[in-house]
Amino acid sequence: MVLTLARLVVAGLSGLLTYAAIEPRGWWWAAIVGVGLLYASLLPWGTRHVTARVGALLAVAHSLVLYLLTLPWIGELVGSGPYIALAIWLSVYAILLGIGGAAVARWKYGFIAFPFFYLAVEVLRSSVPFGGFSWVKLAWGQIDGPLANLAPWGGTSLITAATVLCGCGLAALLIQRGWKAKSAAFLAAILPLASATVAGLGINRDDSTVGEAKVAAIQGNVPRMGLDFAGQRQAVLNNHVAETKKLAARDKDIDLVIWPENSSDINPFRDGKAASAISGAVDAIDAPVLVGTATRDEVGARNTMQVFAPGHTVGDHHYKKYLQPFGETMPMRDFFAKFSDYVNLAGDFKPGDGPGVVSMAGVPVGVATCYEVSFDNAFRESVKNGAQLLTTPTNNATFGYSDMTYQQLAMSRLRAMETDRAVVVAATSGVSAIVHPDGHVSQSTEIFTPDALVEQLPLRSGETFSVRFGSPLQWLMVIIGTVCALVALRTNRLRRTPRRSGTDTYVGA
């Protein structure tokens, strides 16, 4: 019992350290130490192996601490109940991680297999049910560290696996016995960092630049109180119109302008006043403007990013494809309505199926609206469909001054590195930012402050290895991890290790 409690303390500490890597703290090294401690808690201590039941308990403890600390921003809208429920639900996946991880950890070289199984569980959590929840990938916490340089070669999956491999290598280096095992552990801890450092030499190369565009991101801000719902929507639209006109008065050479998601929640195709206001801003800036709005077609309600061009011209649109379950859409609405009134807060938007690209002044711009940026295929599809510049229009006003907007900005930065494209982040209330292809932020805004960012950005062509092969590489690693865990479970069932005083025997490979 004492040993189990000690393991629980280590597992809880591992969750705390892993959380410290997430923005806005950004202590990237803490995630390596954190997952290393998780693996250490699953390793045999002396002759005492971790059972499947205890392994599940340890992984759940790690996950609960991590997600309860990462996701309080969700409670800004719906209160603490749903936020805690989500953290608990995400921790359910850790049961698999703990059972398989405890089995793999009995192998002498299990620290090589565990990263692949960790990734397999992360992919499962990011995929099902209802499209999964990819917001909590381990890779996001590496944006300020060297492992982020692996993004063009394998995206978030490769970074996650590399982070866990480093951590497991450190844990095995301290706990394993024998020079061969310690040598392998040392290489496991060092090689990902060394490879990432070398990979960084190929980040942001100018040979794929095909032009430039002067781009503006508008942050109109939102009213904080004192208006009804309709008044709020009109005020948000007015704010973005006003900021665009201010920019037009001081800069006449803008090529294209990005407004945030929900910058006009009044449908301009059904409201003449809204259409007139948008047209006035477009004509003033004399450049196409990508406007976040809510529209409806024969399928249903859409979260839409719509291009409006000078001369009252309507251009391309992007219907948000990856909708937030329990927010923008409500899976199994009738069923969940029996348990909570929060169901009524969820929207009924329908997903789009477009190319993820809109044309603005001849520039193909890839669009991932807010939550979409957390999904690997969103910007990969945009780039495959010819996007030379990317944008993440978002509405973070609901979440106040929480960490949410900084967590999301880290995703946009990693996507810039993965795709070798500049990313323009336009947020209603902040943080808006200009992100370069190497992931660095050249400009950003304060939260709840009206502002406009303008910068000359490179237009890039071509596809990185991750854009082309990131998905099959991910599934290859997932298969390796799953097979390793199944073999370890089977092996441990067939070959029990006898307890021998003073000996330390590993089961399996």
Residue 353: both structure tokens together: 């199926």
What's the rounded Cα separation, in Å, for the pair 322 and 370?
9
Looking up tokens 């917001």, which residue turns up? 135
| Predicted local distance difference test score (pLDDT) of residue 398 | 87
pLDDT single digits (tens) 296-313: 999 999 999 999 999 999
Distance of CA 86 to the CA centre of its chain: 16
For residue 335, pLDDT over 90 is answered with no
Weakest-pLDDT range from 289-298, 397-406, 462-471, 477-486 = 397-406
What's the rounded Cα separation, in Å, for the pair 264 and 300?
18
For residue 410, pLDDT over 50 is answered with yes
Map residue 244 onto helix, strand or coil. Answer: helix
**Does the annotation mark 166 as catalytic?**
no
Please say whether the dihedral angle defined by the alpha carbons of residues 37, 42, 48 and 53, taken in this order, is positive or negative. positive
Count of other CB atoms within 10 angstroms of residue 284: 17
Mean pLDDT calculated for residue range 250-267 = 96
- Of these residues, 243, 261, 381, 418, which one is catalytic? 261
**For the chain, what are the domain ranges?**
1-204+467-495, 209-461
- Of the two residues 460 and 342, the one the predictor is more confident about is 460
Say which residues have a Cβ less than 8 Å from residue 306's Cβ, sequence separation at least 6. Answer: 268, 290, 291, 293, 295, 314, 315, 317
Map residue 485 onto helix, strand or coil. Answer: helix
Distances (CA, A) of 393 to 237, 295, 320, 325, 390: 15, 16, 11, 19, 10
| Predicted local distance difference test score (pLDDT) of residue 47 | 79
| Predicted local distance difference test score (pLDDT) of residue 156 | 98
Mean pLDDT calculated for residue range 426-453 = 97
Averaged pLDDT score across all residues of the chain: 93
For residue 154, pLDDT over 90 is answered with yes
What's the rounded Cα separation, in Å, for the pair 475 and 155?
12
| Order of strands, sheet of 301-309, starting from the edge strand that comes earlier in the sequence | 313-319, 301-309, 289-296, 256-258, 209-219, 451-460
pLDDT band (50, 70, 90) for residue 78: confident
| Predicted local distance difference test score (pLDDT) of residue 228 | 56
According to DSSP H, which parts of 106-148 are helical?
A: 110-125
pLDDT band (50, 70, 90) for residue 227: low
- Of the two residues 344 and 156, the one the predictor is more confident about is 156
DSSP code per residue over 142-204: GTTSGGGGGHHHHHHHHHHHHHHHHHHHHHHHHH--SHHHHHHHHHHHHHHHHHHHHHGGGTT
| Predicted local distance difference test score (pLDDT) of residue 506 | 41
For residue 99, pLDDT over 90 is answered with yes
**Does the annotation mark 370 as catalytic?**
yes
Q: How many CA atoms lie within 13 A of 469 on its CB side?
A: 8
For residue 373, pLDDT over 70 is answered with yes
For residue 136, pLDDT over 80 is answered with yes
Weakest-pLDDT range from 74-78, 181-185, 234-238, 392-396 = 74-78
What's the rounded Cα separation, in Å, for the pair 437 and 207?
13
**Does the annotation mark 243 as catalytic?**
no
Please say whether the dihedral angle defined by the alpha carbons of residues 17, 19, 22 and 24, taken in this order, is positive or negative. negative
Weakest-pLDDT range from 174-188, 321-335, 376-390, 412-426 = 321-335
| Predicted local distance difference test score (pLDDT) of residue 58 | 98
pLDDT band (50, 70, 90) for residue 252: confident
pLDDT single digits (tens) 194-221: 999 999 999 998 899 999 999 999 999 9
Q: Please report, rounded to a whole number, the percentage of residues in the chain having pLDDT higher than 90.
A: 85
What's the rounded Cα separation, in Å, for the pair 111 and 114?
5
Mean pLDDT calculated for residue range 111-126 = 98
Helix (H) or strand (E) holding 99: helix 80-104
| Predicted local distance difference test score (pLDDT) of residue 496 | 56
Mean pLDDT calculated for residue range 69-77 = 91
pLDDT band (50, 70, 90) for residue 507: very low
Say which residues have a Cβ less than 8 Å from residue 338's Cβ, sequence separation at least 6. Answer: none
Is the pTM higher than 0.75? The answer reads yes
Count of other CB atoms within 10 angstroms of residue 3: 12
Mean pLDDT calculated for residue range 86-107 = 97
pLDDT band (50, 70, 90) for residue 333: confident
- Of the two residues 229 and 105, the one the predictor is more confident about is 105
What's the rounded Cα separation, in Å, for the pair 474 and 151?
12
Say which residues have a Cβ less than 8 Å from residue 50's Cβ, sequence separation at least 6. Answer: 7, 41, 42, 43, 44, 58, 102, 105
For residue 110, pLDDT over 60 is answered with yes
For residue 498, pLDDT over 90 is answered with no
CATH code: domain 209-461 is: 3.60.110.10
Helix (H) or strand (E) holding 38: helix 28-42
What's the rounded Cα separation, in Å, for the pair 368 and 431?
16
Weakest-pLDDT range from 2-16, 208-222, 305-319, 342-356 = 342-356
For residue 461, pLDDT over 90 is answered with yes
| Predicted local distance difference test score (pLDDT) of residue 501 | 45
Residue 409: both structure tokens together: 């900005």
What's the rounded Cα separation, in Å, for the pair 172 and 113?
12
- Of these residues, 23, 108, 243, 320, which one is catalytic? 320
- Of these residues, 108, 122, 166, 370, which one is catalytic? 370
pLDDT band (50, 70, 90) for residue 326: confident
Count of other CB atoms within 10 angstroms of residue 152: 24
